Structure 1
Amino acid sequence: MKIFHTALAASLALLLGGCMVGPDYHRPQTPMPTQFKELPGWTAATPAAGAAPKGNWWSAFNDPLLDQLEPMVSVSNQTVRQDYASYQQAMAEVQVARASLFPTIGITGSGTKQRGADNGLSSNATGLRPTISTSGSLEGSVSWAPDLWGKVRRTIEENKATAQASQATLANATLSEQVALATAVIDLRISDANIDLLQKTVDAYTEYLRVVSNQGTAGTITPSDVITARTQLGNAKANLIELGVARAQYAHAIAVLVGKTPEELDIPHSTALPALPTIPVGVPSTLLQRRPDIAVAEREMAAQNAAIGVAVAAYYPDLTLSGADGFSQAPLAGLLHIANHIWSVGADVDETVFDFGARHGEVAAARAAYEGAVANYRGTVLTALQNVEDDLSGLRILAQQAEVEDTLVSDATQGSRIAFNEYQAGTVDYTTAATAQATQLSAEQNALNVKQQRLLDTVSLIGDLGGGWSADELTTQATASDADSKR
């Protein structure tokens, strides 16, 4: 046993002093602008961490339906649940890799009772009988492969980074589904507003038709005016019915996003639109911390860097230490007596001498995969900057368009009223009045479409800024059970 303990202590010393081959990870530098181009005045943005969206970012829209449904996404959305299962699997892989740092301990026991061959017969008072023998053993064993070159530690590093990438993927999926839900709710609310607008238009066209019909009965106008008014009303009614299809589809999409069947969720008609919040943007570099897709790309890059170390470690020999201690006895009686004590220690060294370039190819492949991950990371950062700039430019331009559309609605409403009054006075024909009415409806619909796009761009901006997420939330837990309990 003294020899075994000495060998174990020496191996532990080697392990503690062992190196880790392969490059240590350092995040590559990524050029970042000092400010977003689209910000007012083209001045550097100031970080507004205290006012930035955090947690329940959707509450800024002041919509009761969003407040009710958004928390359900992280619990019931099936895409999110699938990514959560992948995260649990990745955490379990970390635990498996970490176990390789420690010895494997086992225990075996056996007992045998056997009847001897015919030439082993013995005699007694009653005659001849076969020889019956017993034997047994009880043995504990230890096997350990010291991580002299850091292969296991690099594997742990790789698996941990992969698990963190899975966690960031989960956060990204959750945010994406939350943004999709907010988008569907906004589309639903705009559909309700369009329905209200067309219902008001149908009511107005019904009154116009009544007036025109009375004039037609009196013979003061041509029959074509009545037909024009009737056609105008019919078109408005048809468009109103058509909106019902779109609204139903938005409601069904909302139900699926929160993990329900369309039959389970009934969304009543609402006349209120979500509020349009002002979102503080901060400086571009905050995207590196707040965008979960950037965190995914960065952690994948770290995992590929660790994989290089795993590949390089294949150049060095593997050492496995083993030991056994126990008892063996035949016959079985007195098995645990000190005289039956047995032990053994051993070491196994495994080294590949010639592999005709296989290890070199594995290292080259790992380095190429890392370079690909670096390119993906930098591309993800550039795409994130593009996304935010698109959102900011859209919101800036749409704000200008909204002012113009509001003026158009006011002028078109006034023009429609004047044209119909002039028609009733007999100074213009009904075609002029009908054209003015159609212009008013078109202006109101365009203004509503601009409101919709401004809301959608605001949701997109929040999503492109990372919602309320931060890379500080990435965990270093070793087991999926820990992650599950926290969830």
Structure 2
Amino acid sequence: MRGVLARPGVRRSIWCAAALLCLLLLNGCMMGPDFSRPPPPKVSQFVTGGLPAQPMEAAGASQRFSALADLPTDWWTLFGSPAIDSAVSEALTGNATIESAQAALRQSEDEMRAGAGVFLPQIDAGFGASRQKYSPVRIGSDQPSTLFNLFTLSASVSYVLDIWGGHARMVEALRARDDVQRYGVLATYLTLTANVVNAQIARAAYADQIVATREMIGLLQEEVRITRAQAQAGASAYSAVLTLENEQAKLEASVPALALKRAQAEDLLAVLSGMLPADWHAPAISLSDITLPAALPDTVPASLVHHRPDILQAEAALHVASADIGVATANLFPQLTLTASGGYENTSMSAFLHRNGQVWAVAADVTAPVFHGGTLWFQRKAALDAYAQTRASYRQVVLSAFGEVADVLRALDNDARALDAQTRAMDAATQALHLVRIDYEAGTVGYLQILVADQEFHQARIAWLQGVAQRLQDTVALYVALGGGWNDRN
């Protein structure tokens, strides 16, 4: 046997095994899968046929997709509206949801730092003072009982060797949870800013529609007056008066509804800014104060997964599920804990630190799971199932994101087409009104025809205002669908 051990090859194998064991004890191995980012979808376009026809022109404004167009973090400034910029700034500094999300992020960061302490030795110190009565009878002696004081000063050090990488996976999961919260904050920022911009656009559209509707009501009032005079003179039927009064009443009923929607938009802006509606005062705004961005970002579809906070958040959740598999796997294997303790024990404070009272202990404990009724095994299977569930959820988030971008691209194209038609209708109504006025000045038509033509013009203008607002809001939807400038680099 001595001859076998003396062989160089056997000695080398023993030393290699010992070195491997030491390396395993010092560094540990990592159980469970190593996480890698899911690959982006292999597509070259968001919709069949590619981007809409370029440029998208309507109402004197043109939009074009450009690879040079940047999507900044403060994308709302592209609309060139000081009122929008001010409202967004107020919301970002006063919104309660943002404050809550930031607090949740700080909590996850602190939990991550707390979890990282598992890699360091755990050191504890203690001091105790007690008065005890000892009875020798307990050891079979008939000596009298002893009454004494006992003072104890101790310190202990323990360290759990992360042999199987369970602790490393746990901290990895904590870091990934921190990423979940971080991207959740960015998603909250994006949703908040989009809601503020959309509310301001809606508020401007309602204000302009109220102005146009009130002008139409004034025209109808004049038309009713003239028609009533004609009916009294016998030149017109009184039913025409009733018809006009019916139209006037409908328009007057629409003004409070528009005013209510505008007030609701203002109340929403107040709440988003962290203020009470009674304390929030908004400056006047019109659609003419908002500029339609001309250059739209031409984003590569494969890069969308790295730009949208909700996708990045789902990816971080997938990372958490992957790390949890490693934690559950490591729990199936033995755990090694090193401990050391020392201190002083004495019955007198005056001789408390005398070397005769020194005590110490060094230990290594190995704990191995033997039988847990299948608990640890099925906990690992549950972790695998959770990973499969999270992976499916991630895939659904990506699919929904691509679907949103495709919908917005089609909406922008349709918005331009519809607004172009509405612009032509308003131009035709404008020309008709101009011709009727010329005929009225020439004496060939009555003033009532002017009122009718003017009313048609205002109706076309209201439809045009709605088309302008829809195009602006769909542009906002595009910025949000593309990630709004928030990504894993900022």
Distance 1:144 1:116, change over 3 A: closer
CA drift at 1:87 = 1.6
CA drift at 1:160 = 0.5
CA drift at 1:435 = 6.7
2:293 corresponds in structure 1 to: 277
1:120 corresponds in structure 2 to: none
1:3 corresponds in structure 2 to: none
Residue of structure 1 aligned with 2:96, choices 78, 84, 97: 78
Count of aligned pairs between the two proteins: 449
1:367 corresponds in structure 2 to: 384
Residue 215 of structure 2 is aligned to residue 200 of structure 1:
yes
What is the CA–CA distance in structure 2 between the aligned matches of 1:164 and 1:276, rounded to whole Å?
A: 35
Deviations 1:156-186 (A, max 9, x none): 0011001101110111011111111111111
1:314 corresponds in structure 2 to: 331
CA drift at 1:348 = 1.7
Matches within 5 A, 1:315-354: 315-354=332-371
What is the CA–CA distance in structure 2 between the aligned matches of 1:109 and 1:179, rounded to whole Å?
A: 59
1:181 corresponds in structure 2 to: 196
What is the CA–CA distance in structure 1 between the aligned matches of 2:95 and 2:45, rounded to whole Å?
A: 36
* Corresponding residue SS for 1:30: coil
* Corresponding residue SS for 1:320: strand
2:6 corresponds in structure 1 to: none
CA drift at 1:464 = 0.8
User: Which moved further from structure 2: 451-460 or 352-361?
Assistant: 352-361
Q: Is contact 1:408–1:443 with CA below 8 Å preserved after alignment?
A: yes
Residue 236 of structure 2 is aligned to residue 236 of structure 1:
no
* Structure 1 stretches of 4+ moved >6 Å: 10-13, 114-117, 419-430, 432-435
Deviations 1:365-393 (A, max 9, x none): 11121122222222211211111111111
Q: Is contact 1:229–1:434 with CA below 8 Å preserved after alignment?
A: no
Residue 489 of structure 2 is aligned to residue 472 of structure 1:
yes
Deviations 1:167-223 (A, max 9, x none): 101110111111111111111010011011112222322333343344445443333
CA drift at 1:359 = 2.2
CA drift at 1:275 = 1.3
User: Which moved further from structure 2: 203-212 or 61-70?
Assistant: 203-212
What is the CA–CA distance in structure 1 between the aligned matches of 2:151 and 2:407, rounded to whole Å?
A: 78
Residue of structure 2 aligned with 1:109, choices 127, 130, 139: 127
1:468 is aligned with what amino acid? Answer: G
Q: Is contact 2:219–2:455 with CA below 8 Å preserved after alignment?
A: no
User: Which moved further from structure 2: 85-94 or 218-227?
Assistant: 218-227
Identity, % of aligned positions: 29
Q: Is contact 1:194–1:445 with CA below 8 Å preserved after alignment?
A: yes
Distance 1:115 1:226, change over 3 A: closer
What is the CA–CA distance in structure 2 between the aligned matches of 1:400 and 1:307, rounded to whole Å?
A: 52
Residue of structure 2 aligned with 1:135, choices 113, 135, 150: 150
User: Which moved further from structure 2: 84-93 or 256-265?
Assistant: 84-93
Matches within 5 A, 1:190-229: 190-229=205-244
Q: Is contact 2:45–2:301 with CA below 8 Å preserved after alignment?
A: yes
1:91 corresponds in structure 2 to: 109
* Corresponding residue SS for 1:28: coil
1:163 is aligned with what amino acid? Answer: D
Distance 1:11 1:275, change over 3 A: same
Note the residue ranges of structure 1 that are not aligned, 5 or more in a row.
Answer: 1-9, 118-129, 474-487
CA drift at 1:81 = 2.1
1:370 is aligned with what amino acid? Answer: Y
CA drift at 1:346 = 1.2
What is the CA–CA distance in structure 2 between the aligned matches of 1:284 and 1:276, rounded to whole Å?
A: 24
Residue of structure 1 aligned with 2:264, choices 249, 274, 278: 249
2:375 corresponds in structure 1 to: 358
Residue of structure 2 aligned with 1:171, choices 163, 173, 186: 186
Residue of structure 1 aligned with 2:474, choices 457, 482, 486: 457
Deviations 1:273-332 (A, max 9, x none): 421113213211221221000000111111111011001001111112211111122333
Residue 203 of structure 2 is aligned to residue 161 of structure 1:
no
1:56 corresponds in structure 2 to: 74
* Corresponding residue SS for 1:100: helix
1:78 is aligned with what amino acid? Answer: A
1:36 corresponds in structure 2 to: 46
2:191 is aligned with what amino acid? Answer: S
Q: CA RMSD in A?
A: 3.0
Distance 1:297 1:47, change over 3 A: farther
Residue 454 of structure 2 is aligned to residue 442 of structure 1:
no
Deviations 1:249-295 (A, max 9, x none): 11111111111111011224334342111321321122122100000
Distance 1:143 1:456, change over 3 A: same
What is the CA–CA distance in structure 2 between the aligned matches of 1:116 and 1:310, rounded to whole Å?
A: 47
1:69 corresponds in structure 2 to: 87
1:295 is aligned with what amino acid? Answer: L
TM-score of the pair, normalised by structure 2:
0.83
Distance 1:451 1:277, change over 3 A: same
* Corresponding residue SS for 1:145: strand
* Corresponding residue SS for 1:471: coil
User: Which moved further from structure 2: 330-339 or 193-202?
Assistant: 330-339
TM-score of the pair, normalised by structure 1:
0.84
Note the residue ranges of structure 2 that are not aligned, 5 or more in a row.
Answer: 1-19, 55-64, 136-144
What is the CA–CA distance in structure 2 between the aligned matches of 1:116 and 1:59, rounded to whole Å?
A: 82
